[in-house]
Amino acid sequence: MKFLTTILLFFLCLPALAYPSSSENAGKKMVVVPGGNYYSFLVTNSNKPIPVAAFLMDETAVTNAEFLEFVKANPSWQRSKVNRLFADANYLKQWAGDLDLGKDRQKLGNTPVVNVSWFAAEAYAKWKGKRLPTVAEWELAGAGTPDKLKKNMSLTDYILDWYNRPNAQQLPATKTTYRNEYGLYDMHGLIWEWTFNFNSFISKGDSRATTEDEKKLFCAAGAMSVKDRKNYAAFLRFSYRGSLKGSYCIANLGFRCAKSIK
């Protein structure tokens, strides 16, 4: 705990330093997410949390306009040229062409880019000198207390409410949901987001089952209890991640970048 406090204190001072906007990408503000301990949603008392160091994170998801700049600079990531191993046929299908957002370009420009694969998101982040957040980082950032939510909902209710509704016909722009205590916008309620290690959840698609070898592997680990049975919101995110493959491009899945603090 003392360790945590130290970290917190340290990073409370940080915004005064040179951060917010990180180097190359003047347009995109990054904010400091304090470090902490990440507990997976299904942990037991005996399971150790994953320590997460403080890091920088884009304040919003990457937008279509921003991603357009990327594909302009990197033609091999244009829709007609991309290798299907790295992005399937749904890649950027909301666009009118390789470098054309279509007639709604004004509106679309400010909405999060979706229909992007993990490989594309990775390449974008690398281009920006950044990286994708890990699951632990993303979950810690996403747990940040909202400034204010509609109808004074709790964050969990807000998340479940969003998960419960089919996709909006038109994806809203960034910064239209809520801001959290770290200054991050739309961590929930707008899109799903890629994480660096989205494939870390060992699921065989069936949330109730696991394979024989995993049983052999883990049967000695003792009794277990679910940390918080009601944390279905996190469960839904894990299920979502578990259904993904790196080349998938999905209408409600985008990303934002992170960066380590050196």
Partner 1 sequence: MKNILLLASIALLLGSCSDTNKNTDKKPDATSVVQAQTALPEASIFNITDTFTNQHKVPLQLTSLRGKPAVVGMIFSHCGYACPRLTADMKIIHDKLGPKAKEVNFLLVSFDVARDTPARLEAYAKETELTPDWILLHGNEQAVRTLSVLLNVQYEKDADGNFSHSNTISVLDKDGVLAYQKEGLEADHTETIGTIEKMIP
Partner 2 sequence: MKKTILTLLLAGTMATMFTACRTNTDTSSGAMSNIDTTTTGTVNAELTDAPNVPKPLTYTSPKRVMVTLEVIEKVMRIADSTEYTFWTFGGSVPGKFIRVRQGDMVDFTLKNMPDSKLPHNIDLHAVTGPGGGATVTNVAPGYDARFQFRALNPGLYIYHCATGPVGMHIANGMYGLIYVEPQHNPLPKVDHEFYLMQGDFYTKGKFEAKGLQEFDMDKAIDEKADYVLFNGRVNALTGPNSLKVKQGETVRLFVGNGGPNLVSSFHVIGEIFNTVRVEGGDLVNHNVQTTLIPAGGATVIDMKMEVPGHYHIVDHSIFRAFNKGAIAQIKVEGKNDPNVFMNLKKK
Q: Which residues bind partner 2 (CB under 8 A)?
A: 40, 42-44, 46-47, 90, 157, 160-167, 200-210, 214-215, 217-219, 221, 224, 226, 229-230, 232, 235-236, 238-240, 242-245, 248, 250-252
How many CB atoms are closer than 10 A to CB 229?
Answer: 10
CA 148 and chain centroid, separation = 21
What's the alpha-carbon Rg for the chain, to the nearest Å? 19
The tokens 């065989």 sit on which residue? 204
Tell which positions 203-242 bind partner 1, by CB under 8 A: 203, 211-214, 216-217
The tokens 């940040």 sit on which residue? 144
Q: What gap in Å lies between CA 193 and CA 171, rounded to an integer?
A: 14
When the beta carbons of 22 and 177 are compared against partner 2, the nearer one is 177
Amino acid at 12: L
When the beta carbons of 210 and 252 are compared against partner 1, the nearer one is 210
- Minimal distance, residue 81 CB to partner 2, in Å: 22
When the beta carbons of 98 and 161 are compared against partner 1, the nearer one is 98
CB 236 within 8 A of CB 201: no
Binding partner at 160 among partner 2, partner 1, none, C-beta below 5 to 8 Å by kind: partner 2
Q: Which two tokens stand for residue 237?
A: 């995110």
Contact residue for partner 1 among 58, 59, 66, 122 (CB under 8 A): 122
Binding partner at 27 among partner 2, partner 1, none, C-beta below 5 to 8 Å by kind: none
Q: Can you tell me whether residue 260 is helix, strand or coil? A: strand
Binding partner at 165 among partner 2, partner 1, none, C-beta below 5 to 8 Å by kind: partner 2
* Binding status of residue 119 toward partner 1 by CB under 8 A: yes
When the beta carbons of 75 and 102 are compared against partner 1, the nearer one is 75
Size of the site for partner 1 (CB under 8 A): 42
Tell which positions 56-95 bind partner 1, by CB under 8 A: 73-77, 81-86
Q: Can you tell me whether residue 97 is helix, strand or coil? A: strand
Amino acid at 205: G
* Binding status of residue 196 toward partner 1 by CB under 8 A: yes
When the beta carbons of 42 and 153 are compared against partner 1, the nearer one is 42
DSSP state, residue 131? B
- Going from the C-alpha of 204 to that of each of 30, 93, 200, 210, the distances in angstroms are 35, 29, 12, 6
Closest CA to 237 of 192, 207, 178, 197: 192
When the beta carbons of 2 and 166 are compared against partner 2, the nearer one is 166
- Going from the C-alpha of 123 to that of each of 72, 163, 170, the distances in angstroms are 13, 28, 26
Interface with partner 1 by CB under 8 A: which residues?
23-24, 47-51, 73-77, 81-86, 118-119, 122-123, 126-127, 129, 131, 135, 196-197, 199-203, 211-214, 216-217, 245-246
